[in-house]
Chain A
């Protein structure tokens, strides 16, 4: 079993839609959690950290469920510019990434 798993997608949604991604992790002792965004052939860039209490940054909301060992990312009012691959990352003395979920936002 992979340490961090994501649905590869692609998620194909119209502009203005709300879309949610989940990511599961296998190590219950994992310490920190992040969402990164990666555009085609570019490096991953930090989107947001994820906390148990949940956190929001504009149209983006991230949640952590330690009991079920998953993190989620919700994007409201999708924009064309949100089209990218979204990577979740988890730390337990090292930073491990999932395989990414591809999002395509269509006009």
Chain B
């Protein structure tokens, strides 16, 4: 069964350091989402790609976060510099049609 891959699964970093997360969507899925989920809350959309183009990044803190999907396949989300409040689960999801989405296992980030 096709799955969304994410790495690393866990990341511990100190504040002010840079971190990067990687996502490989299900093959053929043109839509890719990055979400942030704080414990006890629902996933919050950070950025949505359609192929290599950003469709929505209205909730992405652009002063420190960046995302790219250069060839329209895998994607990287970067935080620089990391802050204590960035500790959360970062989830990647992909979709064939932009609606029904399948999630990867997530990257759990702890900022010390």
Which residues of chain B come closer than 8 Å to A91, judged between CB atoms? 98-99
> Which has the most chain A C-beta neighbours within 10 Å: B44, B55, B91, B100?
B100
Assuming A31-B99, A95-B101, is B91 touching A43 (CB within 8 A)? Answer: yes
What's the least CB distance linking A31 to chain B, in Å?
A: 7
Which of B12-20, B60-68, B103-111 forms contacts with chain A?
B103-111
Among B35, B95, B98, B105, point to the contact of A42 (Cβ < 8 A): B105
B95 (CB) vs chain A CBs: closest residue:
A95
Contact across chains for A94 and B43 when beta carbons are under 8 A apart: no
A96 and B100: CB pair below 8 A?
Answer: no
Q: How many Å lie between the Cα of A94 and that of B43 in the bound state?
A: 13
Chain A residues contacting B43 (CB-CB under 8 Å) are 44, 87, 97
A-B contact count (CB 8 A): 55
CB B77 to nearest CB in A, in angstroms, measures: 15
B47 to chain A, nearest CB (A): 10
* B33 touches A (CB below 8 Å): yes
* Contacting residues, chain B, for A99 (C-beta < 8 A): 41-42
Please tell me if A106 contacts chain B, counting CB pairs below 8 Å.
no
Interface of B is mostly: strand
Chain A residues, CB < 8 A from B48: 94-95
- Of B44, B93, B98, B100, which is within 8 A of A93 by CB? B98
Which A residues are CB-close (under 8 A) to B100?
Answer: 32, 34, 46, 49
Identify the interface centre among B43, B101, B103: most chain A CB within 10 Å of its CB.
B43
Residues of B participating in the A interface, judged by any CB pair closer than 8 Å: 33, 35, 41-45, 48, 55-56, 89, 91, 93, 95, 98-106, 108
Chain A interface residues toward B at CB < 8 A: 4, 6, 31-32, 34, 41-46, 49, 87, 89, 91, 93-100
Between A and B, 23 residue pairs with Cβ closer than 8 Å are A6-B42, A31-B99, A32-B100, A42-B106, A43-B104, A43-B106, A44-B43, A44-B91, A46-B102, A87-B43, A89-B101, A91-B98, A93-B98, A94-B33, A94-B45, A94-B48, A94-B56, A95-B45, A95-B95, A96-B45, A97-B35, A97-B43, A97-B44
